[in-house]
């Protein structure tokens, strides 16, 4: 009997620093599998964000750059403009992309920069210790919203995928999740589609991934999956919001 399952070549042997129950590991693996399947590892450059995934380059086996908070799309723009033959992706969290990096992501998407963004939305700042993010749910307690997010004061959570889908420039914009196996399979398909559009030079692509953060949510990994399903998915609806074929 031959080998039926192995680690993608695009993933390293390093143990991750992620907390127990964190979904970054799943998303890293999906990205690595897609890169292997498309055979693009040796011409791929990843951009790590500021946030929990700042050390993402320790877990992949190809070229990487490390961005400042929110600036990954500008760096990806720089690389892709001077080296259109490279495959470039940013891997960003919600504090990074939806707060401090709002300008960079919107303008990169609107210019139709031909790179891919993996946007991990777990409704909280992770690395800095669980502060409120633009994506934090109404009433959700965080270390800077100890009484729950008060939407009267700070507004409703930002739906990044929906917001970007409103731009006219052709793009592939989708929201997926990694909180159940069937969602995970769909997320992988979306990531593969996004990278394929990039390979073809078609358009900018963003895959938002609804994720969990048991540590900063203060609940068990299993409860976190349930909380995400019950609280986040009704607000952050899954689906493809924009495809280049629509345009």
Partner 1 sequence: MGKVLMKGNEAIGEAAIRAGCLNYFAYPITPQSEVAEYLSRRMPEVGGVFLQGESEVAVGYMLFGAGGAGARVMTTSSSPGISLMSEAISYIAGAEVPAVFVNIMRGGPGLGGILPAQADYFQATKGGGHGDYRLLVMAPASVQEAVEMVMKAFPLAEKYRNPVMILGDGLIGQMMEPVEFPDHLKTAPSNKDAWATSGMATRNSSKRNLVKSLFLDPEDLNNHNLKLKAKYEQMAREEIQYETYNMDSDYKALIVSYGTMSRVCRTAVDIFKAQGLEVGMLRPQTLFPFPLDPIRQAAAKGSCQAIFSIEMSMGQLVEDVERSVQGQRPVHWYGKCGGDVPTPEEVMDAIKDVIV
CB of 110 to partner 1, least distance (A): 9
Which strand (E) or helix (H) includes residue 87? strand 87-93
Site size with partner 1, rule: CB under 8 A: 33
171-177 and 116-121 as β-strands: parallel, antiparallel, unpaired?
Answer: unpaired
Query: Where does this chain touch partner 1 (CB under 8 A) — which range of 24-32, 62-70, 179-187, 229-237?
Result: 62-70
Longest Cα–Cα distance in the chain: 61
CB of 221 to partner 1, least distance (A): 25
What is the pattern of x (binds partner 1, CB under 8 A) and - over residues 93-122? ----------xx--x---------------
Please tell me whether residue 195 adopts helix, strand or coil conformation.
Answer: helix
What is the pattern of x (binds partner 1, CB under 8 A) and - over residues 31-60? ----------xxxxx-xx-----xx-x---
222 near partner 1 (CB under 8 A): no
- 13: burial class by Cβ within 10 Å (0-12, 13-18, 19+)? exposed
Q: Which two tokens stand for residue 195?
A: 């990278």
Closest Cα partner for 159 from 123, 131, 184? 123
For residue 24, the 8-state DSSP code is H
The residue (of 66 and 240) whose beta carbon lies closer to partner 1 is 66
**Residue ranges in contact with partner 1 by CB under 8 A:** 41-45, 47-48, 54-55, 57, 61-68, 71, 74-79, 81-83, 85-86, 103-104, 107
């Amino acid at each position: 009997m031959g080998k039926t399952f192995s680690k993608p070549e695009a993933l390293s042997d390093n143990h991750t620093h992620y907390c127990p129950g964190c979904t970054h590991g799943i998303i890293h693996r999906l990205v690595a599998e897609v890169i292997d399947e498309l055979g693009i590892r040796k011409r791929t450059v990843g951009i790590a964000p500021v946030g929990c995934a700042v050390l993402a380059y320790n877990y992949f086996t190809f070229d990487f750059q490390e961005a400042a908070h929110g600036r990954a799309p500008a760096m990806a723009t720089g690389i892709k403009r001077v080296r259109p033959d490279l495959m470039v992706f940013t891997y960003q969290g919600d504090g990074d992309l939806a707060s401090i990096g709002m300008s960079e992501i919107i303008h990169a998407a609107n210019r139709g920069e031909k790179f891919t963004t993996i946007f991990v939305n777990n409704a909280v700042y992770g690395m800095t210790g669980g502060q409120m993010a633009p994506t934090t749910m109404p009433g959700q307690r965080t270390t800077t919203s100890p009484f729950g997010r008060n939407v009267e004061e700070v507004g409703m959570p930002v739906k990044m995928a929906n917001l970007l889908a409103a731009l006219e420039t052709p793009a592939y914009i989708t929201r997926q999740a990694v909180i159940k196996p069937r969602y995970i399979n769909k997320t992988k398909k979306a990531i593969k589609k996004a990278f394929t559009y990039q390979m073809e030079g078609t358009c900018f692509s963003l895959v938002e991934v609804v994720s969990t953060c048991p540590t900063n949510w203060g609940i068990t990994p299993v409860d976190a999956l349930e909380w995400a399903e019950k609280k986040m998915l009704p607000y952050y609806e899954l689906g493809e919001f924009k495809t280049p074929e629509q345009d």
